[in-house]
Amino acid sequence: MADAMLELSHVTMQFGGVVAVDNLSMHIDQDEIVALIGPNGAGKTTAFNCITGVYTPTSGQVFYRGELIVSNRPQGRMKTLYAGSHKDFPTQIVVNTPDRITKMGLARTFQNIRLFKTQTVFENVLIATHLHRTSNLFTATMRLNRQEERSFREHAMSMLEAVGLQDEKDELAVSLPYGKQRRLEIARALATRPRLLLLDEPAAGMNPQETDALGRFIVDIRSRFGLTVFLIEHHMDLVMDISDRIYVIDFGRQIAHGIPEQIQDNPDVITAYLGVDEE
């Protein structure tokens, strides 16, 4: 059986006394679109951050295409403070900075849009081509890398065309309306040539039509660029529409997992989102 694209194994993230993610285990297979849902503050973005190297989890492991990219066990103060439910700790410690993980093929967008504020739309995407450079400081400065530079620009342009922002390429990124800024972030992440794309609330702030278009777009880029997609979302129609599988977490723990039809009627999920009936 082929390695899963992404596998989390008992990932726990604890800040001081607060356990933000508790014993999260999940896997994503190639070409799937998997969604991570849960109420606000459930720990979804924290999970993303653990996968992409922004945080190092307090304990647990992350595998990308079979390769161990993150592994940790409680150290220092955490040894005494640890409050996660899983106590069988890995022995290895593997830490990778976000840039290394992106180079391996995982790209992400952010919950609060993080565009490069002083740069144009085109420049924002162009910056994301840098990681695949073969030139060095000297050759780049002396303009000995003309071919590479041209291919970077072509690639960036085609990413913009993929999201439909080619006409605004010279506008300042922050001057775009909110929906287009989100599309730009996706274009930027795509420019890093990922195999696995993590989208953090891509439909936030979009109206139903835009959300619909986004759903179709995600399915389209999956086949066009051979991607696997892992997304955090609150727009349930989008989630139910395009996801192959869904994980539900609340208070950092997984409370349900399955195909959309199973999740929709799951009582624990309903309770988590809507609360328990008073009567």
Partner 1 sequence: MKVFKIILAALLVILALVITASALTTRDILPALLERMDPENLAAHDAAMQKAKDRVTTALSENNPERAQRSLDRYINGFSAQLTLSGRVGYDLFFFRNGPSMLALALFLAVAAAGLIAHALDRSSKVRKLVLPAILITVLYVGVYIMENIAGANSMLMTVLKKGAIYALIAVSMNLLNGFTGLFSLGQAGFMLIGAYTYAIFSIETQSRAQVYQYYAGGIIQFQLPALLSIALAGLAAALFAFLIGWPVLRLKSDYLAIATLGFAEIIRAIFQYDGLGPLTNGSNLLRKFTVFETALFPFAVAGVCIALIALLIHSTYGRSFKAIRDDEVAAEAMGINLYAHKQMAFVISSFFAGVGGALLAMYQTTVQAAAFTSAMTYEILLIVVIGGMGSISGSVIASFLFVAASEWWLRFLDNETMLGSFRVPLLRSGFRMVVFSVVIMAVVLFYRKGIMGDRELSLGRFRRGLSRRKKGGAQDG
Partner 2 sequence: MTEFISANLPYLLAGISVGGQYALIAIGYTMVYGILRLINFAHGDIFTVAAYCMVYMNATMPLYISLPLTIVFTVVLGLAVERVAYKPLRDAPRMSIMISAIGVSYLLQNLMWYVTGGLAQQYPTIPWISSTISIYTATTKMVTLVTPVLTLVLVVLLVQLIKHTKIGMAMRAVSRDFETSRLMGIKINRVISVTFAIGSFLAAVGSMLYFSNYTAVTPTAGAMPGLKAFVAAVFGGIGSIPGAVIGAFIIGIAENIIKALGWTAFSDAFTFALLIVILIFKPTGLFGEAIHEKV
Instruction: Report the amino acid identity of residue 167.
Output: D
Q: Which long-range contacts (CB under 8 A, 24 or more apart) does 16-21 make?
A: 16/81, 17/81, 17/83, 19/83, 19/84, 19/252, 20/46, 20/252, 21/46, 21/47, 21/50, 21/57, 21/249, 21/252
- Binding piece for partner 1, criterion CB under 8 A, among 134-142, 204-212, 222-230, 270-278: 134-142
> Phi first, then psi: what are they for 186, rounded to 5°?
-65, -45
Strands (E), the chain: 6-15, 18-28, 33-37, 59-64, 67-72, 106-108, 196-200, 228-232, 245-250, 253-258
Among 2, 16, 76, 143, binds partner 1 (CB under 8 A): 143
- Binding piece for partner 2, criterion CB under 8 A, among 47-55, 134-142, 187-195, 232-240: 47-55
Site string for partner 1, 93-132 (x = CB under 8 A): ----xxxx-xx---xx-x---xxxxxx---x--xxxxxxx
Binds 15: which of partner 1, partner 2, none (CB < 5-8 Å by kind): partner 2
- Binding piece for partner 2, criterion CB under 8 A, among 49-57, 178-186, 214-222, 244-252: 49-57
Q: Which two tokens stand for residue 268?
A: 């624990």
Q: Decide: is 169 part of the binding site for partner 1 (CB under 8 A).
A: no
Q: Decide: is 146 part of the binding site for partner 1 (CB under 8 A).
A: no
Are 242 and 248 in contact by the 8 Å Cβ rule? The answer is no
Site residues, partner 2 (CB under 8 A): 15, 45, 49, 54-55, 110
Site residues, partner 1 (CB under 8 A): 52, 54, 97-100, 102-103, 107-108, 110, 114-119, 123, 126-133, 135, 137, 140-143, 145, 148-149, 152, 188-189, 191-192
